[in-house]
Amino acid sequence: GAGVSQSPSNKVTEKGKDVELRCDPISGHTALYWYRQSLGQGLEFLIYFQGNSAPDKSGLPSDRFSAERTGGSVSTLTIQRTQQEDSAVYLCASSPSGVGLDTQYFGPGTRLTVL
């Protein structure tokens, strides 16, 4: 079936604006993860969903970042009052159960540029 999809693929915004990034996980996957990757850096974990709940939000860098997941499927990552340091590629991954050691499958990412 289809893999993880993310939209938009690219987003350019002005400092101070709010942005929403969308992730469509693989159908049937209950676990969903958000990561971000700044230029030349490794991936940084942001938040994890099991179904619609987020038991681990430890990676969110500030209260300007929030995420939700509805219907156990689509997730939206919202960044309010964007700052230039928010510029990065935001990656979403899903896995079948989120427990044990099931494999995470990544989407292509959304490249966010804050001017």
Partner 1 sequence: DAKTTQPPSMDCAEGRAANLPCNHSTISGNEYVYWYRQIHSQGPQYIIHGLKNNETNEMASLIITEDRKSSTLILPHATLRDTAVYYCIVRAYSGAGSYQLTFGKGTKLSVIP
Chain residues binding partner 1 by CB under 8 A are: 4, 31, 33, 35, 41-45, 48, 50, 55-56, 58-59, 91, 93, 95, 98-101, 103-109
Q: At residue 24, what are phi and psi to the nearest 5 degrees?
A: -110, 110
Residue 51 or residue 80: which is nearer to partner 1 going by CB?
51
CB of 66 to partner 1, least distance (A): 17
CA atoms within 13 A on the CB side of 78: 9
CB of 76 to partner 1, least distance (A): 18
Among the listed residues 13, 26, 14, the one whose alpha carbon sits nearest the alpha carbon of residue 104: 26
Residue 37 or residue 76: which is nearer to partner 1 going by CB?
37
Sign of the CA dihedral 75, 42, 83, 48? positive
